[in-house]
């Protein structure tokens, strides 16, 4: 049994098999093998398993991303069955008495070099495919599992997970995750909270943990590897206890989120994908206060088309019926990077070319999204929210573009509904001039994560600063108070969609300040409802 201390992201318990995810090439060492026939059998079995995996990936991709994108997995299967490749592996094992993974590594290197030396770009690029199939077989030979194709629920251990990697994860098979890097405010952390998944950061993983049993204790930020019988029993009891608590909260379902003073607070949910809708509905949210549209861009290999976006927005609008769905326009940049945007690396991306700044410069991207959003508004109660605003000028420009889009749709005879348009208050500038912004918009939603990082001058990706990142800082609370007052003076509503909205130690204070709406992770809905009812 081994105990490691980290920082908890989501304070609950998870018990399960550990899965070590490594981006680096796997280490292969040459070993002498006596029984070469047996070693060839080991290779053949691993190869069969790799082909099975690829075939499953092909089916999955076919359903999710279509035939063209799925083809690569079929090609990989064919390459693994290539005679020359297999002859080379067999030969190395028998003639040099080496282990199967070493033979595969050498063969993979040789074949990938042959392709890399070719002139034509297409054929050159196939060297990556050869490496890929070889690494798949080596991983299987070393007893590893496939991240995108997990067979059983696991706790994922990784150095770090990029948002583009977390979207690949099969959420059904994810019990929890433990990363070495990342701060408690990174997007991976937010994802953990959204998905209701216990997670720890600041723990360095070890490949030898693969397949061992592990426990995440989210209450005190501990990871226990290979627990003894007694510890395991204790945590199993804790899991049952948490389950019981959850059931108690369930009783609040269907009850109003109304304060002791009789004020109704709109309790909405934050989501990042269509697949989160089930948890919104089961959590009893009155609407969606923040639907991050980035997933459409992160999941795709190229700019998502108007039709593709429209289909998703429509699905959400229809699923939520007459309940409000606030969709935030593209918030790419900073720690959320997408290859095909071709954004140059910046020294200070949090203050760089991101979100609405991209949309106002590359208006074709923005217009495509707005067209999809307005079209979807005919099928439900959609509102649009714009991120990273710093000036009235930006808001006026945005509204002008939105008007153009509406005119175009009208001219084309395409229906759209009434759409509320609001802005996120996540820069100190926007908070300070909220009196000037309010006349031009329908609502304010405070993004407390960015507002905190900009106000306190603390990079939320910098784990070293986690201890002074004080979300309860008086400066933040005063800014929020100012935003609420300016909203009410202009007859619009103000809410919070940042992490602070789910902080139940602050609910009473926010209610006293006059907050109209709180939008929180689906997993926090009932807990926040409880806090509102006690305020």
Partner 1 sequence: MKQFNYVITDEVGIHARPAGNLSKLCKGFASKVTIEANGKSAEATKLMAVMQLGAKKDTEITVTVEGDDEENAANEVEAFLKENL
| Contacting residues toward partner 1, per CB under 8 A | 71, 74-75, 78-79, 81-85, 111, 114-115, 118-120, 122-123, 126, 129-130
Contact status, residue 134 vs residue 100, Cβ threshold 8 Å: no
* Burial class of 79 by CB neighbour count within 10 A (0 to 12, 13 to 18, 19+): middle
Classify burial at 32, counting beta carbons within 10 Å of its beta carbon; exposed 0-12, middle 13-18, buried 19 or more: exposed
How far apart (Å, rounded) are the C-alpha atoms in residues 157 and 172? 16
Smallest gap from Cβ 103 to partner 1, in A, equals 16
How far apart are CB 131 and partner 1 at their closest, in Å?
A: 13
Do 428 and 450 meet the contact criterion of CB atoms below 8 Å apart? no
The residue to which tokens 């300016």 are assigned: 486
Q: Which backbone phi and psi does 3 adopt, to 5 degrees?
A: -120, 130
Contact 289, 445 (CB under 8 A): yes
Closest separation between CB of residue 119 and partner 1, Å? Answer: 7
Q: How far is the CB of 76 from partner 1 (least distance, A)?
A: 9
Q: Is 187 a catalytic residue?
A: yes
- Closer to partner 1 by CB, 62 or 274: give it: 62
Q: 24 or 119: whose CB is closer to partner 1?
A: 119
Strands (E), 353-410: 381-386
Query: Catalytic site residue 90?
Result: no
* H or E segment to which residue 79 belongs: helix 67-80
Q: Beta strand 213-217 with 13-21: parallel, antiparallel or unpaired?
A: antiparallel
Smallest distance from the beta carbon of 379 to partner 1, in angstroms? 39
Smallest distance, partner 1 to C-beta of residue 146, A: 21
Q: Which is nearer to partner 1, 126 or 336 (CB)?
A: 126
* Minimum CB distance to partner 1 smaller for 129 or for 159: 129
Give which of 88, 76, 81, 60 is closest to 136, Cα–Cα: 76
The nearer residue to partner 1, 114 or 343, going by C-beta atoms, is 114
Exactly one of 187, 440, 472, 488 is catalytic; which is it? Answer: 187
Q: Which is nearer to partner 1, 78 or 240 (CB)?
A: 78
Radius of gyration of the chain (CA): 26
CA distance 263 to 245: 27
Q: Which residues are catalytic?
A: 187, 497
């Amino acid at each position: 049994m081994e105990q490691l201390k980290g920082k908890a992201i989501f304070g609950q318990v998870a018990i399960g098999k550990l899965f070590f995810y490594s981006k680096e090439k796997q280490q292969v060492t040459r070993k002498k093998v006596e029984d070469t026939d047996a070693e060839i059998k080991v290779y053949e079995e691993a190869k069969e398993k790799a082909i099975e995996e690829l075939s499953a990936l092909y089916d999955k991709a076919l359903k999710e991303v279509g035939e063209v994108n799925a083809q690569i997995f079929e090609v990989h299967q064919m390459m693994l069955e290539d005679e020359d490749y297999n002859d080379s592996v067999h030969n190395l094992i028998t003639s040099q008495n080496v282990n199967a993974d070493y033979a595969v590594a050498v063969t993979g290197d040789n074949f990938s070099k042959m392709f890399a030396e070719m002139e034509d770009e297409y054929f050159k690029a196939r060297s990556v495919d050869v490496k890929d199939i070889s690494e798949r077989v080596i991983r299987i030979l070393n007893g590893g599992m496939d991240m995108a194709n997990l067979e059983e629920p696991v706790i994922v251990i990784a150095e770090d997970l990029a948002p583009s990697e977390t979207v690949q994860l099969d959420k059904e098979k994810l019990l929890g995750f433990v990363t070495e890097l990342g701060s408690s405010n990174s997007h991976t952390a937010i994802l953990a909270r959204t998905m209701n998944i216990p997670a720890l950061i600041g723990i360095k993983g070890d490949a030898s943990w693969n397949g061992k049993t592990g426990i995440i204790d989210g209450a005190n930020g501990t990871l226990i590897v290979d627990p003894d019988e007694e510890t395991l029993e204790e945590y199993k009891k804790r899991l049952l206890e948490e389950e019981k608590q959850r059931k108690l909260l369930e009783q609040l379902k269907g009850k109003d989120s109304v304060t002791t003073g009789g004020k109704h607070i709109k309790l909405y949910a934050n989501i990042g994908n269509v697949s989160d809708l089930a948890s919104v509905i089961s959590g009893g949210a009155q609407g969606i206060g923040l639907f991050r549209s980035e997933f459409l861009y992160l999941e795709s290999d190229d700019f998502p088309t108007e039709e593709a976006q429209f289909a998703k927005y429509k699905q959400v609008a229809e699923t939520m019926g007459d309940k409000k769905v606030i969709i935030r326009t593209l918030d790419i940049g900073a720690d959320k990077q997408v290859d095909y945007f071709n954004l140059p690396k910046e020294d200070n991306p949090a203050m760089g070319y991101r979100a609405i700044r991209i949309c106002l410069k590359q208006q074709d991207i923005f217009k495509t999204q707005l067209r999809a959003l307005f079209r979807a508004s005919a099928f439900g109660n959609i509102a649009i929210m714009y991120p990273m605003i710093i000036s009235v000028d930006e808001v006026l420009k945005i509204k002008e573009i939105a008007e153009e889009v509406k005119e175009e749709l009208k001219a084309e005879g395409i229906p759209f509904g009434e759409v509320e348009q609001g802005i996120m208050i996540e820069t100190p500038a926007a908070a300070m001039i909220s009196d000037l912004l309010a006349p031009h918009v329908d609502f304010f939603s405070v993004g407390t994560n960015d507002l905190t990082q900009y106000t306190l001058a603390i990079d939320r990706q910098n784990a070293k600063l986690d201890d002074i990142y004080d979300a309860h800082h008086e400066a933040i609370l005063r800014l929020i108070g100012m935003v609420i007052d300016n909203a009410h003076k202009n007859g619009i509503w103000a809410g919070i969609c940042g992490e602070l909205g789910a902080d139940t130690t602050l609910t009473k204070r926010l209610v006293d300040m006059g907050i109209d709406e709180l939008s929180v992770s689906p997993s926090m809905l009932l807990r926040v409802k409880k806090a509102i009812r006690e305020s």
